[in-house]
Amino acid sequence: MAHFTPRQMQAIRVIDSRIKKFILYGGAMGGGRLVMTGIRSEESAKRALRQMVETCFKDGGKRYLHPIIDWTSKDVWQFLKGNNIEYCSLYDEGWKRLGCVLCPFSNQKLEAKRWPKIAEAYHRAIVRCYGDSARDGRAAGKTFKDGEEFWRWWLSGRGKTEDGGLFT
């Protein structure tokens, strides 16, 4: 049997009560959908603005529940390790956040080294699409000299803003 610290027990009780209250008070009723996520406020400036329970602005019947929105990275790791829960080995390689490979919110250069075949596929696609865009006179074709220049810019991460957004 796993042993929980008092803080972990409190976290489990809080999450459990949040989910039960959400369901009991109609959060997932009325034919709507409940989407539960693991996002946390400390992950980005935009996520820091999110609430524990939210209604989808496009579909009022869909509600979001983010039960660990107020957890820190330390809380997550204490919970995982304290309960002997398996996790992706990429975290042991030093990765802080996992998602799509070469995502603009990640370290594209590091990811390109880690997954070279995916990076090469991205590279080919960017060069081809950029060439098509430039040939057709679309906006992307006017920003960089060619697809290679765009690819180097993409890997540099220079398009990111301080708040985690893109392309200032």
Count how many domains the chain has.
2
Angle at CA 116, nearest 5°, toward 143 and 95?
A: 95
Low-confidence residues of the chain, pLDDT below 70? Answer: 1-5, 7-9, 11, 18, 21-32, 134, 137-142, 159-168
Question: DSSP characters for 95-154?
Answer: -S--SSTT-TTS-HHHHHHHSHHHHHHHHHHHHHHHHHHHHTT-THHHHSSSHHHHHHHH
pTM of the model: 0.61
Within a domain: 97: no
User: Domain containing 12 — which CATH number?
Assistant: 3.40.50.620
Same domain, yes or no, for 10 and 50? yes
Within a domain: 164: no
Range of the domain at 45: 6-87
Within a domain: 52: yes
Structure confidence by residue, pLDDT tens digits, 135-146 = 776 665 567 778
Residue 35, helix vs strand vs coil = strand
H or E, element range at 15: helix 6-24
Q: d(Cα 103, Cα 3) in Å, to the nearest integer?
A: 37
Same domain, yes or no, for 13 and 74? yes
